Amino acid sequence: DVFAEAPYCGNPLAVVICEAPLSDESMQKIALETNYSETTFVSPLKNEDGGYRVRIFTPSREIDFAGHPLLGTAHVIRYHIQTGEQGPVRLNLPVGQVEASFNAADGGKEVVWFEAPPVTPGIQCSHFEIATALGLDADDMDEASPVQQMTAGISAVMVPVSSLDALSRARLNLDAYAPLKAEGFAPLTYVFCKQTQNPENDLSVRFFFEAHGVREDPATGNGAAFFGAYALNHGLYGERDISLRIEQGHFVHRPSVVMLQASGQDAGQQISVGGHVEMIVQGKLI
The string of DSSP letters for 91-121 reads EEETTEEEEEEEEEEETTEEEEEEEPPP-EE
Task: Calculate mean pLDDT across residues 12-41.
Answer: 95
Radius of gyration of the chain (CA): 18
Average pLDDT over residues 27-52: 95
The residue annotated as part of the active site, out of 5, 33, 38, 278, is: 38
pLDDT level of residue 105 (50, 70, 90 thresholds): low
Mean pLDDT across 66-72: 92
Question: How confident is the prediction for the chain on average, in pLDDT?
Answer: 94
- The dihedrals phi and psi of 32, each to the nearest 5 degrees, come to -70, -35
Neighbours of 143 (CB within 10 A): 13
- Go through 256-273 and write b for each residue having 16 or more CB atoms within 10 A of its CB, e for each that does not: bbbbbbbeeeeeebebbb
Judged against a pLDDT cut of 90, whether residue 198 lies above it is answered with yes
Active site (annotated) includes residue 239: no
Rounded Cα distance between 281 and 13, Å, is 10
Q: What's the rounded Cα separation, in Å, for the pair 32 and 23?
A: 14
In angstroms, the CA 109 to CA 107 distance is 6
Residue 85: pLDDT band by 50, 70, 90 thresholds? Answer: confident
Give 270's pLDDT tier (boundaries 50, 70, 90).
very high
pLDDT at residue 265 above 90? no
What does the pLDDT look like over 133-161, one tens digit per residue?
999 999 999 999 999 999 998 899 999 99
What percentage of the chain has pLDDT greater than the value 90?
83
Whole-number Å distance between alpha carbons of 15 and 39 = 6
Residue 135: other Cβ atoms inside 10 A: 13
Cα end-to-end span (Å), the chain: 23
CA dihedral 237, 239, 240, 241 (to 10 degrees): 80
Could you give the domains of the chain? 14-103 (3.10.310.10), 120-274 (3.10.310.10)
Position 192 scores a pLDDT of 99
Cα 184 to Cα 119, 149, 178, distances in angstroms: 17, 9, 10
Say whether pLDDT at 106 is over 70: no
CB contact at 8 A, 206 and 216: yes
Question: Chain-centre distance of CA 167, in angstroms?
Answer: 18
Residue type, 84: G
- 163-189: pLDDT as tens digits: 999 999 999 999 999 999 999 999 999
Query: Which range is least confidently modeled, 4-8, 106-110, 149-153, 218-222?
Result: 106-110
